[in-house]
Amino acid sequence: MKLILERNLDFRQFQNLIILTFITMMILLGMLNSVESNSYIFIKFVLIFLNILFVAILFTKKGLLFEKGKLFVCIFLLGFTVKKNLIKTSEFKEITLQKGKLSTNYAYSFDIKEFHNWEPDLNHSVTGFTIGMINENQKQKILMLTKPEKTKLAINFIVENTNLE
């Protein structure tokens, strides 16, 4: 059983990857329309490969997979499992949910006072929900999500398929 939850990238990563994809696509289209077809063929293939890779990364989603009695945190691409990490639930008894803020700030010149005065505040924060497991003396993170309805689906999926409560 698999449960595909939400986009694997946060807002800023997604935004930056769209910009990078647009730039590489424009360079590729410019090269295809202005340069002879035989010259720079290697660069054209690299740009085509990068565009396919960037678009594939844009469509990745994170989720959970229960297979052969084991729980995995996975990254999916169009429903297919790309990467999976085993979560050892046998050592833990309870499932926890922590609410917090996910914040990214791309103010690169914070250490340089002259640049910091005019640089805009690029902070973007969203509410994040961390699903984890606890025992008497240890904690382990399972997954971090940003949507409350997806968090409920993930918790129900974990409770139904494992021994966690």
Is 139 exposed, middle or buried (CB count within 10 Å of its CB: 0-12, 13-18, 19+)? exposed
Per-residue pLDDT tens for 21-50? 999 999 888 888 876 767 788 888 899 999
Q: Would you list the domain boundaries of the chain?
A: 2-161
In the predicted structure, residue 120 carries a pLDDT above the cut 70: no
Q: How far apart are CA 144 and CA 132, in angstroms?
A: 9
- Give mean pLDDT, residues 62-66: 87
Residue 108 DSSP code: T
Dihedral of alpha carbons 147, 5, 61, 59, sign: negative
